[in-house]
Structure 1
Amino acid sequence: MYTDSHCHLDFPELQSDFEGVLAAMRAAGVTRALCIGTTLERFDEVHRLALRGAEGTPRLWATVGVHPDHEHDEEPTEQRLLELAARARVVGIGETGLDYYRLEGRSVADMEWQRQRFRVHIRAARRAGLPLVIHTRAAAPDTLAILREEGGLSSRGGDGLPPVRGVFHCFTETLDVARAALDMGFWISFSGIITFKNAASLREVARYVPLQRTLIETDSPYLAPVPHRGKVNTPAYVPWVAAQLAALHGVTAEEVGQITSANFTELFDRVRDEAQAHAQPA
């Protein structure tokens, strides 16, 4: 019923009891999850989890990318991202984006390496025809500008490639940023942050974003929703995100689960294509 569109099952906090994590997901009705790549060095482990998920439920998929906070890890090239994205059960590029939250004495101008890396991911995603998983923190104007420059719906491309598409994950930005992302054709994903007491303004953004353009996630092992705040987060807690969205939109949590799961399949179309292939008669 529920799909966790962004989690880090390869992180030690969840690997220490991986079978328990899967069992808790099944018990909570979380039937699918997307394992997000954050470094090229760790990609093989993320991919291994996705392949393991193919053996039964919950079903798992993977993305490939280098997180903007990982400054000193292997730098991606378009070709390397394309090679890894061609593997089975890899359905997106990222997580990628910009993060100016911890400049550590540097200026925004000094973060050109992040902006260039972001462009590499966007170009690879367009060439692969895959959605992009976007991380943006304290950097929304540059994030939006680069997306437009690199092939957003409002760009004046002409290179024959599809426009960039994807999801703004763990959304914490303003209503104006949400509106701009939606206008560019992006989905918006909400995490357990929308259950936090101090997140009233974010809940208003979540109320504004149509459910038909919404995904839900845990970003586990971080950001456990109320009433589990302070604990290690797991995909089994994503129904609490659905419940908060349900309260904001006047529907049931089950309806949110169904709608956001359908949205996940629509955006990550390799998931849809895989399901259709399995449905074909032998």
Structure 2
Amino acid sequence: MVSRFYTKVSINSLKAVLLAGGYGTRAKPFTDYFPKAMIPLNGRPVIHYVVSYLAKFSQISGLIILCEFDNIGKQIINYFEGKEAAIGKPLTFIEDKKFGTGGALLEIERDVRTDKCFLLWFADNLCALRIDGLIQEYEKADRITKGGITGIVVVRNQRREETGRVILDNAIHRQANNSRNSTTSLIKQFIEKGVVKLEQPEALGIYLFNNTIFDYLHTTSARMHAGGFNLSHDLLGRISSIGGKLYSYNLGGNTEWLDVESPPYSDRNKDTVMKILSQMGM
């Protein structure tokens, strides 16, 4: 909702919220033994790099980790025990009570309400996103909309393929075989793991929300009869129809992003992992 009395927003301080719960279905059987956020990269869990990177930014006043307090979720808490001084920013743990990614955010409302905005980051996402640049784009969108913005979603419009691609010459093969229904074609060129343009940008699990998002979270929770709900599917997918306004921030340029799905996946993408860690200054 746009305020009649708009006041220019300047974000000097905000908290980073890391979602580190969930079942890690795609990473099984590994996540039967440790959370996705604890997948090792160069001897350290992925969440170590995310926390260390975000703590570098002066605008980040503290970090909140949403994780399970029982079973394997304790591994995250145990890992960071005694490391707060080295991180250089306050570190708070809040229990993910397994009400979905949307329901989990309601658990941190009290801790972030004092700030204008908060950063939400899925803890298994590796990216050297410039937080100061993201904040500047948010402030710009806020001025243009006179306070009508709900948040910014980080997206990308291109990605590097995991497999090689081929360029085919169907005309030559049809001419040679006198057939329009052939299942084989002449390969003109092999492209090894090329970068492809996406028809629609994809969301990367990184968001900058202002506190009006909690109004929509409560509305959605009530609609789901206080049951668990998914942030993307149950809220963000329909937020424009209930008055919210989300804007996109294209990662662009040479900045890489990787969802660390599983140990084998990170091994297959080792070059990308190393490039991102280098971009993060790790």
TM-score (norm 2): 0.31
Greater helix share, structure number: 1
Relative to its length, the structure with more strand (as a share) is 2
Structure scoring higher RCO (CA < 8 A, sep ≥ 6) equals 2
